[in-house]
Amino acid sequence: MAEEFPQDLGYTAEHEWYRAADGAVGITAHAQAALGDVVYVELPAVGARVVAGTPCGTVESVKSVSEIYAPVSGVVVAVNAELAAAPELVNQDPYGRGFMLRLRAEGDPAPLLSAPEYRALVGGH
Amino acid sequence: MVPFAGWELPLQYGGILAEHRAVRQGVGLFDVSHMGRLAVGGPDAGRAVDRLCANDPRALGPGRALYTPLCAEDGGTVDDAILYCRRSGEDYLLIVNAANTAGDREWMEAELAALGLRAAVADQTRQTALLALQGPGAAALLRGLAGAAPAGLAPFACLEAVVAGAPCLVARTGYTGEDGFELACAAEAAPPLWDALLAAGAAPCGLGARDTLRLEAALPLYGHELSREISPLEARLQRFVHVQGRECSGAAALRRLAAEGPPRRLVGLLPEAPAIARAGAVVTGGDGRPLGTVTSGTHAPTLGRAVALALVERGAVRVGDRVAVDVRGRAAAAVVTPLPFYRRG
C-alpha cells in the first residue's frame, strides 16, 4: 500500500477518513486489513443528510459486517458507483479509488484526528 | 491470528478469497492441528468404537476411515468425527472438533466404563500435528513428495507413508468439497513438512477460507449445524447414521426419530443480493411465521453470492420457495435451494 496514514486527511476513532478538499469519505487501511476481503458496501442515497458519529452505511466482508460512521455532518453529494461491481477497491486502494462517498459538510467542523493521532491510536509503525 | 478453542490460529495468510480460489483451482494447505486426535486402543477397542459411533464401524478394516456422528442417549450430537482404523480391532484414531476434545474424551471414557469395556482413550493432540492438503492439484503434489502409493489412495482410505521425510498417517479425506489428503505426523515433524509442502506449491490457507469452502460444499460445522440439541438426522447426515440392529450410544432415540421423522431439517438458502444472511438470523415464511434459523451463512466466493444453511421446521418449505431472512433488522428475500451449493467436477 502506498501510504497508510495520508497526512491530508482527518480520521475518526471508528477508522473512517475524511478529505476536506473534496468531501470524500472512506475507511482506513487499518480498517480494510481488519475486515478482510470486502464483498459489499451499502451506501446512503445522494441527498441524504448524515450526522457526524452516526452510521451512514455498512461495509461487509466475507466474515463480518461493520457500520460506516459519518466523520462529519452534512449532505451526501455523491457515492462511489464503482464499488457495486468492484468492492475489492476498498481493500486495494482505500484512500483513492476505494473511497465511499462525498459529503458537503454542514454545521460546526467535527473534531477529527490528525494522521499522527490516528497512527498512535492504531499503534501504527 | 485469532483465538479458537484454546489455540491461536491464522484467519488468513493473504486473503480469504484468494485462498478459497487456490483450493478450488490449485492446491491449498491448512494447519488443522488444533483438531483433537483421540486414539482408542485395548483388547475391546473394536467394541468400543462400535458403541461410540452412530455410523457403523464394523465394516471398517485396516487402512480405511469413515465420517461418523457421536450421539448422546437422546439422539443429540456429542460431536462429529472421522474414525480411522489403523489395525483392525486394535488401533483406532478419532479426529474430533478442537473445542470438544476434552469433553469427547470424558464422554467416551464414561461410555466405555459403563459397559466395562477394556479400552482406553488417549489424547494425542499435543504430540501430533495434522495438515490438510486440498484441491485438484493435491494428488500430483503429494506424489512428488511421497510417491505413488499415498497419492493413489482411494477416498477415505489411509496408509502410513513418508512425506518429504516425515512419517505420516495419510488419508484421502478433507473438509473442503475438493479432492485432498490429511496428514497426521509427530508434532516436531510438522514445521519442516509444512515448509516442504509450501515449497512444492501449496498455498497456505486459514480459518476464513476453511469456512467458506466447507459451507459451499454444505458440510456441517459442529456448533452450527450440529449440537447437543441438533440430531444428525436433522442435519442431512442420515447416510452416516446406521442404527438398525446396532446398539451404539443414542441408537434407540435415533431409530425413534427416524421412524417419526425429525422435527426439523437443514435446507439451503440463496439470499437475494446484496444481503448476506449469517448464523442466528431468523427465517420466516411468506405469512411472516418464523420457520427456523440460519445456522451458517457467508459470501460464497465460487458462486459470487451469499449462501446460507438454515434449520427449519420439517415440511415447512420446499426447494424453490421464497422465504424472508432477518438481516440486521430488515427482511431480506431468499430462495430455498438444493444442497450442496457447490459440487466439484
Provide the residue type at B335 as one letter. V
pLDDT of residue B5: 87
> Taking 60 as the threshold, does the pLDDT of residue B301 lie above it?
yes
pLDDT of residue B59: 79
Q: Which domains does chain B have, with CATH numbers?
A: 2-35+126-216 (3.30.1360.120), 36-123 (3.30.70.1400), 238-337 (2.40.30.110)
Across the interface, which of B17, B273, B274 has its CB nearest the CB of A62?
Answer: B17
- Restricting to A residues 56-75, those with a Cβ less than 8 Å away from any Cβ of B are 58, 60, 62-63, 65
- Its domain, for residue A39, covers 10-118
Q: Chain A: nearest CA to B46, how far in angstroms?
A: 41
> Are A60 and B276 an interchain contact pair (Cβ–Cβ within 8 Å)?
yes
A39 touches chain B (CB under 8 A): yes
Please identify which residue in the block is written with the cell numbers 437422546: B74
Which residues of chain B make contact with A91, given a CB cutoff of 8 A?
Answer: 15
- List beta partners, residue A49: A75
The DSSP element (H or E) to which B108 belongs, if any, is helix B101-114
Cα torsion B295, B299, B303, B304 to 10°: value is: 160
Q: pLDDT of B74-101, one tens digit each?
A: 999 999 999 999 877 689 999 999 999 9
If DSSP codes are grouped into helix, strand and coil, which group holds residue B14? Answer: coil
CATH number for the domain that contains residue A49: 2.40.50.100
Give domain status of residue A124, yes or no: no
Give domain status of residue A53, yes or no: yes
Give domain status of residue A52, yes or no: yes
Comparing alpha-carbon positions, the chain B residue that sits nearest to A84 is: B274
Q: pLDDT of B67-80, one tens digit each?
A: 999 999 999 999 99
Choose among A66, A117, A60: nearest CA to A88: A60
pLDDT of residue A124: 56
ipTM > 0.90 (yes/no): no
Residues A107-125 have a mean pLDDT of: 87
Choose among B312, B225, B314: nearest CA to B323: B312
Backbone angles phi, psi at B93, to 5 degrees: -125, 130
Give domain status of residue A36, yes or no: yes
pLDDT of residue A1: 47
pLDDT of residue A3: 79
* Cβ–Cβ pairs < 8 A, chains A and B: 36
Number of domains in chain A: 1
Calculate the average pLDDT of chain B: 96
Which residues of chain B make contact with A40, given a CB cutoff of 8 A?
Answer: 273-274, 276, 299
Could you give the percent of chain B with pLDDT greater than 70? 100
